[in-house]
Amino acid sequence: MERTFIILKADCLLRGMIGEVISRFEKKGLKIVAVKMMKLDDEILNKHYAHHAGKPFFKRLVEFMVLAPVVCLVLEGKGAVSVVRKMSGVTNSREAEPGTIRGDLSLSMQSNIIHASDSLETAKKEIKLYFKDGELFNYDLPIYKFQYANDELE
């Protein structure tokens, strides 16, 4: 099974939508293998958004990400990275399809509810940045035998 990383951003928390967003992933059948609330700081954000350093919006992005605590999760499932990206919708919420998290819950490019890893490689880096080894859990979900075909569980 593949693992991916998400951040439920400050706007998600402040608008009272943490439960709704997590519920969408659980209903889809993704397994939560790690979750924690944290207050982000410049050190972790400079690492996380290093690819945006020097861009005009970088300072504003960091200021937004420290407005309130965030909730970080690691989700697991077949094709988890692409599944979560599709469920999240495009970054500019005004262009996100109805039915996606951003399409249903946001109208902003920045205040867009969620960050989701864009590749398996990025997910691995982000998981290591936000979670220690002992904070990731392995357990069986009984629903898997109804959710996946036998050959998909191998």
Using an 8 Å Cβ cutoff, are 70 and 10 in contact?
yes
Cα–Cα separations (whole angstroms), residue 119 to 13, 83, 145: 25, 11, 27
Query: What is the distance between the alpha carbons of residues 143 and 154, in angstroms, rounded to a whole number?
Result: 15
| Active-site residue identified among 48, 51, 52, 115 | 115
Please confirm, yes or no, whether 51 is among the known catalytic residues. no
How far apart are the C-alpha atoms of 135 and 153, rounded to whole Å?
Answer: 24
Catalytic residues: 115
